[in-house]
Structure 1
Amino acid sequence: MRTLLLFDGIGSTDVNLLPELRDMYTKPENTAFFQAMLDTSDKVSAYLDSSTFTQVCPDGYTLRDWLDQKAGRSADVPQNSFAAGLCVYVHQTCQLQPARHHGNDDVASLGHSIGLPAAMIAGMRLRRMDEFIDLATAFLRLVAVTLARGHQLVATSTAHPADVDRYRARVRRGADPGPMASLSGPHRAELMSMIGAFRPNGSISISLANSPKSHVLSGPAADLLEFYFAHHETFERTGTAWSFLSNTIPFHSPHLAAAARQVDDDRSFIGKLPDGDQLRFPVYATDTPRNLQDSTDLVDEFLEQVLLRPIEWELVTRHAITDAAADRIVDYGPGAAARRFTRECLDSGGRRVRFESRKQSVASPALGGQRAMSTLSRPGRTTQGNGSRPVHPVPRHYGNSG
Structure 2
Amino acid sequence: MKKKKPFFRFHEILTKLREFLFLSIQDKYKREFDIETARVNLGRAKITSLCFLVVEIIMLAVFLSVKGKNFLRLPDRYYGIMYITMIIAMVFYLTLYIRLGKDVQKYCTNIQIAGTSFVIFILSWCAGISLLDQLTYNGQIIVYTVAVLAVAVTPFYKPFILLAAYTVTHALFIALMPLFQKSGGILFGNYVNSTIFIIISWVISYMRYRNRIEDFIKSKEIQEKNDELERLNKELEKLSYIDYLTGISNRTMFDIIVKEEWNRCKHQHEPFSLIILDIDFFKEYNDNYGHRAGDSCIKKIAEVLSNFAERSHFTVARYGGDEFAILLPYTDKEKAFSFAEDTRRDVEKLNIEHAYSSAADHVTISLGVNTIIPSDESSIEEFFDTADKALYKAKENDRNCIFMIN
TM-score with structure 2 setting the length: 0.22
> Of Structure 1 and Structure 2, which has the larger fraction of its residues in strand?
1
**Structure possessing the higher relative contact order (Cα contacts under 8 Å, 6 or more residues apart):** 1
TM-score with structure 1 setting the length: 0.22
> Of Structure 1 and Structure 2, which has the larger fraction of its residues in helix?
2
